[in-house]
Structure 1
Amino acid sequence: MKKDFYDKPIYTISNYIINFFLSSVYLSICNILLILFFIFTAIDPRNFSLLLLFICLIPLGPSLGALYSTIGKIIREKDIYFSSYFWSSYKNNFVSYLKLWLIEIILLTILFIDFQYFYLNMPEKGIHIIFVVLIIISLVIGFYTFPINSRFEIKLKDLFIISIYYMIKKFPTTILKIAVIILIYYLSNKISIIFLIFIPNIICFIFFYYDKSIFTELETKFLSSDSNK
């Protein structure tokens, strides 16, 4: 009787909803500094500081890695101890997520500074557009590296090579991810910061659905390589 209840769609749906809100709460806790930064900047744009933004963004990487890992586990196993798995993934893989994230935000910061320089000083030449494209490409690569890193233990160099490979191979999915970046940018200027905290969860669910074939392919490759050793 108990097993029949857990197998019912209403239980599965309610479990997903509860986990969705829990992940938003945990993500907010991990990134309280970033939320405060956006609130104060929205109140007075003069409060904006690129250095302060960089510092506030640092905790985002490990929390996103834990979110990707947990959502992937939910999709595969349907029902898990969400809270314990999230914080366990956050703690155990903190360094791995942080190293990957620091590379990402350092690169994005450099590209943003270059964009700002050419946009303010030489807008007529259109060079700043190149940096917009490079920023988008960097973000898209990040949308591949984080899911893969949350599932497999791969060296950083190989992780970026694999991510670029799938970015090209899964071009329709890449276009989807670019569209999501543009949509996020649009929504960030239109909706309240309160609603923005739910966006990472939605993105993770959508991306994991489209990235399932990548995980299956990588699992097959790793299993075959292990069997050949």
Structure 2
Amino acid sequence: MSEFFNLEKLLTFFNYIFWFFMLNIFFSILNIPVILFFLFVGLSNITTYLPLFLVSLIPFGASFTALLYCMRKLVKYKDLDLFSDFLKGLKYNWKQSTLMWCGELFLIFLLSFNLRIFSTVYYSLPLTCVFIVLMVLTLLTTTYIFVLISRFSMSSMDILRASVILTFTKPVVSIGNIVIFLFSLMLFEISPGTTVIFMASIVSYLIMFLNKNLLESLETKSSQA
């Protein structure tokens, strides 16, 4: 009996590896533009070619939301219909996630431009600090936007409003979301060859796991409304 349970756990483990690997492949295919940017322009030249980099990031919004859609099912049900669920995540959310992501990319461009102006050309410490704070808040809010789109059918304005509120009312989760991204980047620096195979899947899984209780709370409130 114990051998059966050990075999079942082993099969589950390999299922997770397969799901993570394949989802990362799907994500990478949809993000070929930014991969080409890294290959031919380079990570070190992002600030120099920021507009091109931001344009190459456009497919990221819909593809990452689809990953979160799949990982929510994996966290909640411990099971996944790989191809069907990923396609559902794209089909249901690609328009809203892409439009909102494009708006965020434009905002990031404006904040970066102003930050560069007031930190170099027309130096102003107060304005530099203001734009840094706005940039950080934008990044904190972005994760919630993707998480909420992947789970709820809400208007873009409601998504944005809820994301801003959660950024301030759930500081531990907000910081945790950013730490996950930073930790994944650190791992990528240490071992890029291995990390890149699973990085997007691991990041999306950890984010949905971290936001599990929050989503359950929001689902309960939504059902009672």
Q: What residue number does 1:42 align with?
A: 42
Kindly tell me the number of residue pairs found equivalent between the two proteins: 223
Q: Deviations over 1:91-138 (max 9, x none)?
A: 332112112211221111111111122222145736323322221211
The one-letter amino acid of 2:211's match is: D
In structure 1, distance between residues paired with 2:186 and 2:132: 15
The one-letter amino acid of 2:38's match is: F
User: Does structure 1 conserve the Cα–Cα contact (< 8 Å) formed by 2:24 and 2:198?
Assistant: yes
Q: What residue number does 2:15 align with?
A: 15
1:174 equivalenced with 2:174 (yes/no): yes
Change beyond 3 A, Cα 1:52–1:193? farther
Q: Equivalences for 1:74-89 in 2 at 5 Å?
A: 74-89=74-89
Moved more, 138-147 or 100-109: 100-109
RMSD, aligned α-carbons = 2.9
Q: What residue number does 2:62 align with?
A: 62
Residue 200 (structure 1) shift: 2.6
Q: Equivalences for 1:54-203 in 2 at 5 Å?
A: 54-123=54-123, 125=125, 127-183=127-183, 192=192, 195-196=195-196, 198-203=198-203
In structure 1, distance between residues paired with 2:13 and 2:130: 44
User: Does structure 2 conserve the Cα–Cα contact (< 8 Å) formed by 1:37 and 1:56?
Assistant: yes
Residue 50 (structure 1) shift: 2.5
The one-letter amino acid of 2:74's match is: I
Residue 183 (structure 1) shift: 4.0
In structure 1, distance between residues paired with 2:163 and 2:143: 9
In structure 2, distance between residues paired with 1:135 and 1:191: 28
In structure 2, distance between residues paired with 1:200 and 1:147: 14
Q: What residue number does 2:210 align with?
A: 210
Identity over aligned pairs, percent: 27
Residue 88 (structure 1) shift: 2.8
In structure 2, distance between residues paired with 1:117 and 1:196: 34
Q: Deviations over 1:159-183 (max 9, x none)?
A: 1121122222221112222334544
User: Does structure 1 conserve the Cα–Cα contact (< 8 Å) formed by 2:30 and 2:63?
Assistant: yes
Structure 2 unaligned segments of length 5 or more: list them.
none
TM-score normalized by the length of structure 1: 0.85
Change beyond 3 A, Cα 1:197–1:110? farther
User: Does structure 2 conserve the Cα–Cα contact (< 8 Å) formed by 1:136 and 1:178?
Assistant: no
Moved more, 146-155 or 41-50: 41-50
Change beyond 3 A, Cα 1:189–1:126? farther
TM-score normalized by the length of structure 2: 0.86
Change beyond 3 A, Cα 1:180–1:114? farther
In structure 2, distance between residues paired with 1:179 and 1:21: 22
Change beyond 3 A, Cα 1:134–1:47? closer
SS in structure 1 at match of 2:41: helix
Structure 1 unaligned segments of length 5 or more: list them.
none
User: Does structure 1 conserve the Cα–Cα contact (< 8 Å) formed by 2:115 and 2:128?
Assistant: yes
Moved more, 184-193 or 50-59: 184-193
